[in-house]
Amino acid sequence: MADLSENHIAEVPDPRLAGNHVLVIEDDPMLAFAFEEAIVMAGCSVGIASNVSAALSVLHGKQIDAAILDFSLGNKDSGRVAEALVNHGIPFILVTGHDLESLKPPYSGHRALQKPIRIETLWSELADLLLKR
């Protein structure tokens, strides 16, 4: 589970994150909400998709600057979504409870964070992802 409910936050998000639109693809409603809160705190707008079909639908309808992609979406892996993100040129951060060393295409070569995730780590990774495009 992501550790995004810190009572004290040691850092503030990079102000250059403001104005970006981030799609969170996460099937756990509590985690999706935690990611949404953290991303909004960074000044970004957020869209949420909880399954593969919803994520693929959103990709065709909105301008998305980056995505947070859960490895497992219910009983499916998110490989089709990862491929679609790559095809649309949308950078993403994979979040997973699995061992990061075992990731294979279409996930290998992309940023990945292992749950639990600290809010400062999420902000830092998002800043690197968005500001180095």
pLDDT 10s digits, 47-93:
999 999 999 999 987 899 999 999 888 888 899 999 999 999 999 99
CA quadruple 26, 28, 32, 35: dihedral positive or negative? negative
Containing structural domain, residue 77: 18-131
Is-contact 59 115, C-beta < 8 A?
no
- Whether 33 is in a domain gets the answer yes
Structural domains in the chain (count): 1
Three-point CA angle 96, 102, 103, nearest 5°: 60
- Whether 12 is in a domain gets the answer no
- Whether 6 is in a domain gets the answer no
Q: Tell me what the pLDDT averaged over the chain comes to.
A: 86
- Whether 10 is in a domain gets the answer no
- Whether 99 is in a domain gets the answer yes
How many Cβ atoms are within 10 Å of 7's Cβ, its own excluded?
A: 4
CATH (domain of 88) = 3.40.50.2300
d(CA 49, CA 74): 12
- Whether 70 is in a domain gets the answer yes
Q: What's the predicted TM-score (pTM) here?
A: 0.87
Would you state the structure tokens that stand for residue 65, as one six-digit string? Answer: 């600057």
For residue 1, name the pLDDT band (cuts at 50, 70, 90).
very low
**Is the model's pLDDT at 108 over the cut of 90?**
no
